[in-house]
Amino acid sequence: MASKAAVKRLSKEYVAMQKDTPPFVWAAPDEKNILHWNYIIRGPPDSPYAGGEYYGLIMFPSEYPFKPPGIKMVTPSGRFQPDKKICFSMSDFHPGSWNPAWSVATILTGLLSFMLSDEMTTGSVTTTVADKKAYARFSHAWNCQQKRFKDAFPEYCEPVMKDLPNMAEKELGGSRAQLPPTPINTTPPVPLPSGSSSSAEQNRSLTEVKKDLPVQQAPKEQLNDGSGGGAGKNALSWGHVLWNRWYWGLFLAVALALSRVTSNV
């Protein structure tokens, strides 16, 4: 049962999440238990996860914010074992490095940064970039077939992915990174095995997943600058691309450095 301090803190964090949503993430508490939160992470452009939608759970202890939460990613991603706890500096694997000032927004931003790194830990797997892109293309269709996802985020269970509240338009100066829509594939998905990532069984499963993927090119960053045609439009588009690459490179470098500094490993 949640303590009064935990209920008060998490209620404030949900209000803050709605007012100032971090880029590429969204989260909300379960209607029946404020200690259990459901989250969505969308893969940023220029990453192997571009166009991907990753659903997971944050399980807060009753002593929150004085103790860290457990964190899972349910959607097969090629980075983490589905539905297994993830060990990183902001999870309950490292209570000694936990900072009570960290919030749901901080945790999800840190998880996204850790996801984009190659650091191995408990709950992670090793796959190729091509594998991660394949899982990204299949992710929305997979989520829409899961009861937990449909119950938590019915507004996002549509044939075409709906943008999260902040798809980084603030950081891009009002422009939004547009990703190709992902149609729902009705073929039952094949999840990533929970065993060794290098096993032949995993390779076979991934091959079956790829066969069921919708015919679609790997997502590429497309920026809509809203201008007219000609050289002026091309120059403005390239300006957004350069700004996007510089900003996210700096953002992820700082977030990853924070994660590693606070880790006990």
CA distances from 230 to 221, 234, 236, 237 (A): 20, 7, 10, 11
Q: How large is the angle between the packed helices 200-212 and 129-143, nearest 10 degrees? A: 60
Any catalytic annotation for residue 157?
Answer: no
Any long-range contacts for 246-251 (C-beta under 8 Å, 24+ apart)?
A: 247/171, 247/172, 248/44, 248/45, 248/46, 248/171, 251/171
The strand pairing partners of 177, in sequence order, are 223
Classify residue 62 by its DSSP letter: T
Count Cα neighbours of 1 within 13 Å in the Cβ-side half-sphere: 2
Which helix (DSSP H) or strand (DSSP E) does residue 242 occupy?
helix 231-262
Q: What is the rounded CA–CA span in Å between residue 45 and residue 249?
A: 11
Count Cα neighbours of 193 within 13 Å in the Cβ-side half-sphere: 14
Which helix (DSSP H) or strand (DSSP E) does residue 142 occupy?
helix 129-143
Q: What is the rounded CA–CA span in Å between residue 135 and residue 32?
A: 31
* Catalytic pick among 74, 86, 87, 223: 87
* Residues that are catalytic: 87
